[in-house]
Amino acid sequence: MNKGNALIAALLGVVIGICAALVYSRFSDERKFDGDYSQWRKLNLILQQIEQNYVDTIDVRTMTDAAVEAALHKLDPHSVYLPPVELKESETELAGNFEGIGIQFNVPNDTAIVLNVISGGPSEKAGLMQGDRILKVDDKTIAGVKTPQDSMVRLMKGPAGTKVSVTVSRDGTEIPFEIERGKIPVNSVDAAFMVNDTTGYIRLSKFSRTTYTEFHRAAEKLLSEGMNRLIFDLRDNTGGYLDQALLLSNEFLNKGDLIVYMEGLHRPKEEFKADGQGSLQDIGLTVIINESSASSSEIFSGAMQDNDRGVIVGRRSFGKGLVQEPINFTDGSGVRLTVARFHTPSGRCIQKPYSADYDYDIFERYAHGEMTDADSMKVDTSVVYHTRAGRKVYGGGGIVPDIFVPIDTTRATGFYIQCNKKAEQMRFASWIFDRYRDTISGIEDFDELKNVLDGMSLDRKFLSFVSRDGIVPSDSEWKKTEPYIMPQLYALVGRFSKLEDEAFYRFYMEIDDTILAAVNSPGEVTAEE
């Protein structure tokens, strides 16, 4: 390039640079906006500018939802935006009923197997039976194609009055059913029975709209059978409605006893106290919790512990003590906004701190040894709280049990791990039911069920069953595993009887260290000396 051309190129570069600067200036210096954060002005201006000036067409709904989700994510882990489908599912889960076809099923081997047909429900009326393998829902094949279990549920659920076609395999024969969906009751009390002559057991899975009614009915039944002490199992109960936790707490506490209080920046302190009308004030109480017991479960447990009303057994609870206020919109979506925190009667905040590892807290507990060693529990000892009787309790998130029960890691032989990987226990239970359907399905007495299962040589049949998959234990492995795995097999097969979950928990408690600790614990607590 000669000097003249180089000079021209340089001049053009200067001119283009000046033009670009002028264009940039036009859209920056001359169009500066007030970035005041008050009244959410900056956010509104940004969204407005996106809508008016973005290079491509935008979806306003998607942009709005994304902005809301991002904003709530900065608040706390539990303030959330729920699109219409998720909001409906969330409300249905706690409503005490849902609309669908009325079955319970397991998926042990990539095929949904009907575990229970709800009495009086649409599926029973249509003719579905225990043990049926579900092949298709409408025209969609769901067997053998690795369909997620929640997707199966969505296909079968639907508004009452609508119809769905379900094709099942029964004894090798394909049978199509047309089922009209209806209202299906969902129980929150999984099991209620007497452990011995004086001790009752109730397992509660959630705090739904019907929880208090269900619990009261179960407690009355156990009282009539001689109960003077109750083991109340809240493990894996993630909570639910506050009013149900208050009603259940009220059953055990004296008049004026504080159950819980809540307080927030825009919510003045509000206390909830027992009215003294509860029917279980004189019943001994042991409450079982674990790392997945949360929210309403922790409100109940904290109330019993701080009032010295019951012994808490298990492992430190989850630590979710936030008051979630619903804000619903006309399009079916909604926000669950944290407006206050729950505190136990002694003043402990139930909510655990928001840490960087909050979402992985349970994994952290395993990693730091908390699941096996009580001394590894993270508690805040800088502030000491006291129960009514003067016992020391600590905050830091969750409810710390009075009696710690570690998870048992000693039973996990190589044989047992292999069986779990292939869901051998569940598949075996279905296999046994297929062969003894007429015998098992009609049993409604536990002793009769146990006698029948004792006569089936389940140990020999199970070893033969798993050997088909190449799983063969050594003599020492089987000797170590047998006492642990056989009650599981009894429990899973027993679930196919009319006793359903009661059979499962009664058999399983033989190897449940936490229940055994609860049975052997004192029914009441005393002040520290």
- HSE at residue 302, side-chain half, CA atoms within 13 A, is 34
Residue given tokens 């798993």 in the structure block: 466
In whole angstroms, what separates CA 4 from the centre of its chain? 78
In whole angstroms, what separates CA 526 from the centre of its chain? 33
Q: Which amino acid is at 132?
A: D
Cα–Cα distance, 380 to 344 (Å, whole number): 15
* Torsion sign (Cα): 233, 234, 240, 244: positive
In the residue annotation, 521 being an active-site residue is answered as: no
Task: Please give the structure tokens belonging to residue 320.
Answer: 């979710």
Spatial contact of 256 and 276, defined as CB atoms under 8 Å apart: yes
Spatial contact of 215 and 237, defined as CB atoms under 8 Å apart: no
In the residue annotation, 355 being an active-site residue is answered as: no
Spatial contact of 376 and 369, defined as CB atoms under 8 Å apart: yes
Cα–Cα distance, 319 to 388 (Å, whole number): 22
Spatial contact of 492 and 436, defined as CB atoms under 8 Å apart: no
Q: Tell me the C-alpha to C-alpha distance, in Å, between residue 343 and each of 233, 320, 321.
A: 22, 11, 8
How many Å from the N-terminal Cα to the C-terminal Cα in the chain? Answer: 99
Q: Cβ–Cβ contacts within 10 Å for residue 91, how many?
A: 15
* Torsion sign (Cα): 277, 283, 284, 286: negative
- Closest to 287 (Cα-Cα) out of 264, 269, 303: 303
Q: Which amino acid is at 11?
A: L
Residues 295, 297, 346, 430: which is the catalytic one? 295
Cα–Cα distance, 287 to 251 (Å, whole number): 14
In the residue annotation, 392 being an active-site residue is answered as: no
Residues 190, 306, 361, 501: which is the catalytic one? 306
Helix/strand/coil for 392: strand
Residues 273, 320, 352, 480: which is the catalytic one? 320
Task: Please give the structure tokens belonging to residue 141.
Answer: 């094949």
Looking at the annotation, which residues are catalytic?
Answer: 295, 306, 320
